[in-house]
């Protein structure tokens, strides 16, 4: 293998290293954005779960109140 061939290979390797460094920087940026999106999604899931629990509690309280009113009316009618 001649010195020229070795030089060509070394230049190509340097170019590949620079390209890999650029890819690495972009991957880190992308991972940061994905992490932010995942955190935002988890936040919205938490909000939805909280609202669901509030709805269950409110429904239970209202239905319990209606049931108590029906029982009271029935006992008063007897």
Local confidence band at 78 (pLDDT 50, 70, 90 cut-offs): confident
Q: Is the pLDDT of residue 73 over 90?
A: yes
Conformation bin of residue 39: beta by default, left when phi > 0, alpha when psi is -120 to 50: alpha
The C-alpha atoms of residue 55 and residue 50 are separated, in whole angstroms, by: 9
Q: What is the pLDDT of residues 16-70, one digit of tens each?
A: 999 999 999 999 999 999 999 999 999 999 999 999 999 999 999 999 999 999 9
DSSP annotation of 34? H
The C-alpha atoms of residue 12 and residue 20 are separated, in whole angstroms, by: 12
Instruction: Output the pTM of the full model.
Output: 0.54
């Amino acid at each position: 293998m001649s010195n020229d061939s070795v030089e060509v290979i070394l230049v190509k390797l340097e170019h590949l290293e620079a390209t890999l460094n650029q890819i690495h920087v972009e991957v880190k940026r992308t991972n940061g954005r994905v992490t932010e999106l995942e955190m935002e999604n988890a936040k919205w899931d938490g909000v939805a779960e909280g609202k669901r629990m509030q709805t269950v509690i409110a429904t239970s309280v209202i239905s319990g109140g209606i049931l108590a009113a029906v029982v009271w009316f029935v006992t008063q009618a007897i």
